Amino acid sequence: MVVIWGKIVSSIGKLLARDANNDRRRGGRMSGFATRNLVRWASTIVVACLFLAEGGVAQEVESRMSTLGLDSLLNVQVTTASKYGQTTREAPASVSIVTAEDIQRFGYRSLAEVLANVRGFYGSYDRNYFYLGARGFSRPTDYNNRILLLLDGHTMNEGFYDSQFLDGTFGLSLDAVERIEIVRGPGSALYGSSAMFGMINVITKDGRGIDGTDLRFEGGSHGLKSGSVTLGRNSTSGLDVVLTGNVTDVTGQDLYFADFDDPETNDGMAEGIDWDQSFGVYGAVTYGDFRLSALGSSRQKGVPTAPWEALFNVATTTTDSRLFLDAQIEKNIGTNQQFTARGYFDGYWYDGAYPYEPDDGGVWEDGNTVTWAGANVEYRADLGPANRLQVGGEFRQTFTATYWARDEDGQLLDGDWPYNVFSLYGQNEIQLTSDLLFTLGARLDHSSNWGTAFTPRAGAVYMPGRSSTLKLLYGEAFRSPNLYELNYFEEGWHILNPDLTAERIRTTELVWEQRLAAGMFSTVSLYHYAMSDLIDEWYDEETDLNQYVNRSAASANGLEVGLEAHLASRLNGFASYVWQKAKSEDVGLSNSPSHQARAGLAYSLLPRLVLASNLLYDHERTTVWDEVVESYLLVHLTLSTVQVMDRFNATLAIRNLFDAEYSTPGGWEHIQSPGIRQDGRTFRLSFGVQF
């Protein structure tokens, strides 16, 4: 058997070696000698782990990566849809769960990679930030501000641009993640601003779930080097502690852009400026009803695309840093009554440097600092066997909200705009009959810098049998204008708009969930949404000035079909197809694929050896320049060993196995036509050890 696996890994090594030759032809930075040595090193480690895995089979040691059965998965208590535990059937939303087992099987190493495989989501990458699209809507350079990202219920969208980060700025190693809950549809009735297309809640493992120390080292294409450590302890006294940290450094690759193919711009080659460096530290302490958590992270990126008409082949850099401290107490205060209080402090820092010719101001820099704190209290009571009432309030004060911009000639803008938000919300869940559940909720948000928003939600969940669920859902949500849109001013170029107000969305959805057979579960969703008051930067020809205005509207109809399979204990998989038609004023939206397909299959070749493959198909998309980015199909392959000798594991992940050439749309700041080139075939080897 070892000989067979040796041949498999040898074939993979040849594939990667051929990729190294392709990389050299494309101008890649890694030398052929270094790549061949890395391939040999990877092959040696994987073969060794396979040998140990086979020995583990002979000893009949039970694998720690037991497949999570379908019944267990469907009964997982999700907390994001209603802010308390429900099964996915009961939740008044279309919900997907990505488990720690899924993350390990398919070799996911970032939130961006996880979400790109989830039904109804898709991504684009401008070689600076990763942008997440949902249900056919993804405005380039919107910084993901219409989807709410949570970490154990703590809002991760920062307080200046409302952006959320799915790359290194997120700061948390996926080794510390228990599951990721993806809740589709409007969520402002419970969460407020930005929850327009859904909420993504990353749930971390507790100390008991980690039970030791995990070390992980990674290396791969384009000079990838990464390391992480995760520690988890649970004492007999009930004290639970989790601590994790990670650091990543990517040398990057030399990239060719045909739009800059001129001797004056290095013949279109951007050399040595595609690097990426990040680190993050996260910790949580739980004792009884009290939980304290904190995160600090930072990412610095070299940007090779010359955005905003910056000089080509000269380093543009962006730095994003994030910090939060969160304290929460959740206490039963009587029969069927619970009180929850949460206090938090957050910070976000950004700095960007864009090189220009001296006559154009030289290096243009901008940045901001924003710090805020808040408190949320919530009371929940079961008023009877079929009536659950939930009420809450939140106050958030932004203390510092500075933005500055300058070039070599001096300061262009320097302002500070603190503000506060006060919110009240309530929800009532009524069990009319044993198979019919109604949910009604609403929230009122008042912001001192732009106004008030009222957002209702309603849902009916009908369960005619143990195998079927029908959900009829309605919800509204909003995105408040962010501080940049409200306050950016530049004399002679950009003026303020005192009438700027929030974007709105109304969504109606019908969801059918059906257990097809033992180990198989399907979901079919039909939805319609309408968006209004979308914020655009508008150029007024009469005044020759720019201004942010509530100018656009958009709508969409869509169909989502998903299938999950948990067959026996060795075969797991998922598949989905999405059709969506999003438009604005009868014109299709940019960066909106009409068709998407996702599929993944993981097979346990041995109790401790898993072979997995992912397929991602995105239909063609138009760009903001009315050009077309062609459809593409990507195939990923992951080979992983699981807890060999109860201590070691290794993963070899090959992305874009067949080296497909493809691009994704960029924003107005990019001139690349028709889109921005994405990576060809890459590989990553990770090796972990547990103590």
DSSP secondary-structure letter at 336? T
Q: Give the mean pLDDT of 154-159.
A: 96
Lowest model confidence (mean pLDDT) among 11-25, 394-408, 435-449: 11-25
State which H helix or E strand residue 190 sits in.
helix 188-191
Percent of the chain with pLDDT over 90: 77
Distances (CA, A) of 72 to 66, 68, 134, 315: 12, 6, 28, 50
Return the structure tokens found at 173.
């190693």
Per-residue confidence band for 73, with pLDDT thresholds at 50, 70 and 90 = low
Residues constituting the chain: 691
pLDDT of residue 410: 80
Residue 625's identity, in one-letter code, is W
pLDDT at residue 16, as a whole number = 42
Q: If DSSP codes are grouped into helix, strand and coil, which group holds residue 175?
A: helix
Whether residue 575 is predicted with pLDDT greater than 90 in this model: the reply is yes
Q: Name beta bridge partners: 333.
A: none
Interior/surface letters 185-219, b for 16+ CB within 10 angstroms, e for the rest: bbbbbbbbbbbbbbbbbbbbbbbeebeeebebebb
- Tokens 């409302």, located at residue: 162
For residue 267, what is the DSSP state? Answer: G
Cα separation, 303 vs 125, in Å, equals 12
**Cα–Cα nearest to 33, from 20, 44, 23:** 20
How large is the C-alpha radius of gyration of the chain? Answer: 25
* Predicted local confidence at residue 647, as pLDDT: 86
Cα gap 611→651, rounded to integer Å: 10
Q: With both helix axes pointing from N to C terminus, report the angle between 32-58 and 2-25 in degrees, rounded to the nearest 10.
A: 160
φ, ψ of residue 38 in degrees (nearest 5): -65, -40
pLDDT classification of 365: cutoffs 50, 70, 90: very high
What is the rounded distance in angstroms from the CA atom of residue 90 to the CA atom of residue 75? 10
CA 104 to each of CA 107, 172, 175, 579, 621: distance values in angstroms, whole numbers, following the listed order: 5, 15, 8, 29, 31
Mean pLDDT of 356-384: 92
Residue-wise pLDDT tens digits, 216-236:
999 999 999 999 999 999 999
Instruction: Give the integer Cα–Cα distance in Å for 567 and 365.
Output: 55
Residues 6 or more apart from 553 whose CB is under 8 A from it? 530, 531, 532, 533, 534, 584, 585
Distance CA 288, CA 239 (A): 8
Cα separations in angstroms, 354 against 309, 364, 406: 9, 5, 11
**Maximum Cα–Cα distance for the chain, whole Å?**
81
Partners of 321 in the beta sheet? 298, 349
Residue whose C-alpha is closest to residue 500's, from 443, 449, 444, 448: 449
Burial label for 568, CB within 10 Å (0-12, 13-18, 19+), is exposed
Lowest mean pLDDT among 43-47, 280-284, 382-386, 437-441: 43-47
* Whole-angstrom distance, CA of residue 200 vs CA of residue 117: 14
**Token couple for 69:** 């059965």
pLDDT digits (tens, 9 = 90+) for 312-355: 999 899 999 999 999 999 999 888 899 999 999 999 999 999 99
**How far, in Å, CA of 640 to CA of 104, rounded?**
8
What value does the mean pLDDT take over residues 267-275? 96
Distant-in-sequence, close-in-space partners of 59: CB < 8 Å, separation ≥ 6: none
Contact 395, 374 (CB under 8 A): yes
pLDDT tens digit sequence for 83-134? 999 999 999 999 999 999 999 999 999 999 999 999 999 999 999 999 999 9
On the question of pLDDT at 288 being above 90, the answer is: yes
> Is 63's pLDDT higher than 70?
no
The answer to which of 11-20, 235-244, 497-506 has the lowest mean pLDDT is 11-20
Find the range with the poorest average confidence among 12-21, 270-279, 601-610, 644-653.
Answer: 12-21
pLDDT at residue 49 in the model:
43
- What would the pLDDT profile of 592-642 be if each residue is shown by its tens digit? 999 999 999 999 988 789 999 999 999 999 999 999 999 999 999 999 987
pLDDT bucket at 71, cuts 50 / 70 / 90: low
Q: Are strands 148-151 and 198-204 parallel, antiparallel or unpaired?
A: parallel
Check pLDDT > 50 for residue 475: yes
What stretches of 264-398 show up as alpha helix (H) in DSSP?
A: none
Give residues with Cβ within 8 angstroms of 322, minimum separation 6.
156, 158, 165, 169, 170, 171, 295, 296, 297, 298, 346, 347, 348
Q: What is the pLDDT of residue 273?
A: 95
Q: Are 193 and 480 in contact (CB under 8 A)?
A: yes
Angle at 176 (CA atoms; ends 172, 178), nearest 5 degrees: 120
**Residue 621 CA: distances (Å) to CA of 204, 270, 580:** 35, 26, 12
Task: Say if residue 1's pLDDT is above 50.
Answer: no
Q: Give pLDDT, residue 70.
A: 64
Query: What's the pTM value of the predicted model, to 2 decimals?
Result: 0.90
Long-range contacts of 523-527 (CB under 8 A, 24+ apart): 523/94, 523/119, 523/560, 523/561, 523/562, 523/563, 524/559, 524/560, 524/561, 524/562, 525/94, 525/184, 525/558, 525/559, 525/560, 525/561, 526/558, 526/559, 527/135, 527/185, 527/556, 527/557, 527/558, 527/560
Dihedral of the CA atoms 166, 167, 171, 173 (nearest 10)?
A: 90
CA 493 – CA 192 distance, rounded (Å): 33
Confidence of residue 9 (pLDDT cuts 50, 70, 90): very low
Q: Which band of pLDDT confidence, cut at 50, 70 and 90, is reported for residue 517?
A: confident
Look over the chain and give the mean of its residue pLDDT values, rounded to a whole number.
89
Q: How confident is the model at residue 69 (pLDDT cuts 50, 70, 90)?
A: low
